[in-house]
Amino acid sequence: MRKRHWSDRKNRKCPTCKKMLTYSRKDAFDRAVGNNSVCKSCAQMDRKISLDTIEKMKKPKSLEHRRKISKSMRVHWQSRREELWLYKKVNN
């Protein structure tokens, strides 16, 4: 396979902070340009959680919510047990 030279295409500016981003692979560069993706520091800035959300997460879960979690975990482990049982049955 022939190596392609694309030295003029490996740098681009972050659309929000204008920091220069350098890419070592052409496909990653093309994907970033197509998606208009931002740098890592700008991406982390958008992930801030509001104070209301933090307070909501601190509150204890309702009884109904805890029952749903318990039921889903019970179903999960039951299916895992059945898969293990079938696996042992097939391999013996």
Shared-domain flag, residues 2 and 39: yes
Residue 52 placed within a domain: no
Residue 1 has pLDDT above 60, yes or no: no
pTM for the model stands at 0.44
pLDDT at 4 over 90: no
Shared domain check, 36 and 2: yes
Q: Is residue 56 part of a domain?
A: no
List the domain range (segments joined by +) for residue 28: 1-47
For residue 13, the model assigns a pLDDT of 92
Which tops the pLDDT comparison, 8 or 13?
A: 13
| Cα separations in angstroms, 7 against 22, 57, 88 | 11, 48, 56
Rounded mean pLDDT, 50-77: 89
Tally the domains of the chain: 2
Backbone angles phi, psi at 12, to 5 degrees: -155, 160
